[in-house]
């Protein structure tokens, strides 16, 4: 009996070991499958992140150069017409391709809430395009950084937001760089500078209004872009009718040039392309990545823009001013990110990007489109 019990005990022990081994093997297989799935998910996510970042980079840089080529190199006769067509394209493309993302509920007071923002938006687009056609790209990029100062002043006065001393110092460096560059600008155009300063004020107003509309009124970024475009079309159409020489527009010799048409179409689709690529970039990557891409865009536009349009004239003072402004922009992103991290927030997604830079989506897109 004792031997039989011993054999049964050994047999039970062996069965237990086999079951443990089977369970261990099952766990191992499950872990391997889960690891493979995670790797695959990470790979797909990485592809999306790379694609989103690349698309945003191409759009943000390409828009600046295409607007410049259309207005300066090809001498398109009406910047107001270009602004109208851009706005109309934006409205139609959102209506066709993104209608599912628009709020279907009735907004009876949408005109009252959005129209002030639409006025700033229309002014921003028109003045940005006019400024692009009036002065060289490096100077345009340097002067556009002054909008950061106007935004921060508006935040302090209307929203009570206070930044760190480091961020204020970075803005001062950017302003100083723009001033030095302006002193060395031998192609100075008073009208072009006026366009850009109006552009900066409208950008600041738009950024502050967008902040309140997104936060307090429950609009999404895409909805604001859609309503803004819809309200702007009649306003811009009246401006085009009053201020445009239609004979020059109809007889424009480049309408039969395929390359010009390619630039023109890309420019017209710029608002939707830039907004969508910006949202995708901040969704699939991070706020810091999007901010760094914005800085890279400014660097590329500042230095490569010297060779686009044929209207830049080099001087030592001008070049030093550009470099100082670029340095201020890089430091601004760095310290803004550090402040965000010190507040215990991990920047992720479009909303965090807006909070990180406080330029808002509309500010970034206009700087690129202008």
Q: What does the pLDDT look like over 287-313, one tens digit per residue?
A: 556 666 777 787 888 888 888 877 888
**Which range in 14-28, 105-119, 180-194 is most confidently predicted, on average pLDDT?**
180-194
pLDDT of 194: 93
Query: DSSP labels for 33-91?
Result: HHHHHHHHHHHHHHHHHHHHHHHHHHHHHHHHHHHHIIIIIS--S-HHHHHHHHHHHHH
pLDDT confidence tier of residue 217, bands split at 50, 70 and 90: low
**Average predicted confidence (pLDDT) for the chain:** 77
Is the pLDDT assigned to residue 9 strictly greater than 60?
Answer: no
Is the pLDDT assigned to residue 129 strictly greater than 70?
Answer: yes
* Rounded-to-integer distance, Cα 177 and Cα 175, Å: 5
Is the pLDDT assigned to residue 286 strictly greater than 50?
Answer: yes
Contacts by 251-255 with C-beta closer than 8 Å and gap 24+?
252/76, 252/77, 254/74, 254/76
**Which range in 38-42, 147-151, 160-164, 191-195 is most confidently predicted, on average pLDDT?**
191-195
pLDDT of 355: 42
Query: Residue 30, Cβ neighbours under 10 Å: how many?
Result: 10
pLDDT of 12: 53
Tell me the two tokens of residue 368: 């690129």
pLDDT, average across residues 347-355:
40
* Residue predicted with more confidence, 269 or 258: 258
pLDDT, average across residues 252-264:
93
Is the pLDDT assigned to residue 255 strictly greater than 80?
Answer: yes
pTM of the model: 0.72
pLDDT confidence tier of residue 359, bands split at 50, 70 and 90: very low
The pLDDT tens digits for 132-165 are 888 988 998 888 888 888 888 888 888 787 888 8
pLDDT of 318: 92
pLDDT confidence tier of residue 68, bands split at 50, 70 and 90: confident
pLDDT, average across residues 306-335:
87
């Amino acid at each position: 009996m004792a031997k039989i019990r011993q054999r049964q005990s050994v047999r039970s022990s062996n069965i237990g070991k086999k079951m443990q081994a089977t369970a261990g093997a099952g766990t191992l297989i499950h872990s391997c499958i889960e690891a493979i799935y995670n790797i695959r998910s990470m790979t797909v996510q990485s592809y999306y992140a790379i694609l989103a970042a690349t698309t945003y980079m191409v759009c943000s840089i390409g828009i600046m150069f295409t607007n410049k080529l259309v207005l300066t190199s090809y001498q398109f006769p009406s910047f107001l017409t270009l602004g109208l067509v851009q706005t109309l394209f934006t409205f139609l493309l959102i209506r066709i391709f993104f209608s599912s993302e628009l709020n279907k509920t009735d907004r009876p007071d949408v005109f009252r809430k959005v129209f002030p923002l639409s006025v700033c938006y229309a002014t921003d687009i028109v003045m940005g395009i006019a400024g692009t056609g009036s002065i060289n790209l490096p100077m345009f990029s340097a002067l556009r950084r002054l909008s950061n100062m106007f935004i921060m002043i508006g935040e302090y006065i209307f929203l009570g937001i206070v930044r760190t001393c480091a961020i204020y110092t970075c803005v001062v460096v950017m302003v100083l760089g723009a001033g030095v560059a302006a002193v060395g600008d031998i192609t100075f155009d008073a009208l072009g500078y006026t366009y850009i300063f109006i552009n900066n004020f409208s950008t600041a107003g738009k950024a502050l209004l967008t902040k309140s509309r997104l936060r307090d009124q429950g609009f999404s970024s895409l909805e604001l872009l859609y309503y803004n475009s819809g309200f702007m079309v009649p306003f811009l159409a009246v401006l085009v009718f009053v201020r445009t020489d239609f004979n020059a527009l109809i007889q424009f010799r480049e309408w039969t040039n395929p390359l010009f048409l390619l630039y023109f179409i890309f420019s017209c689709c710029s608002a939707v392309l830039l907004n969508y690529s910006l949202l995708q970039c901040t969704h699939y990557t991070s706020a810091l990545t999007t901010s760094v891409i914005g800085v890279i865009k400014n660097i590329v536009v500042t230095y490569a823009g010297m060779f686009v349009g044929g209207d830049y004239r080099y001087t030592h003072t001008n070049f030093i001013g550009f470099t100082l402004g670029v340095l201020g922009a890089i430091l601004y992103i760095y310290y803004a990110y550090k402040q965000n991290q010190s507040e215990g927030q991990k920047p992720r997604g479009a909303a965090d990007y807006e909070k990180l830079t406080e330029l808002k989506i509309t500010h970034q897109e206009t700087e690129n489109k202008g």
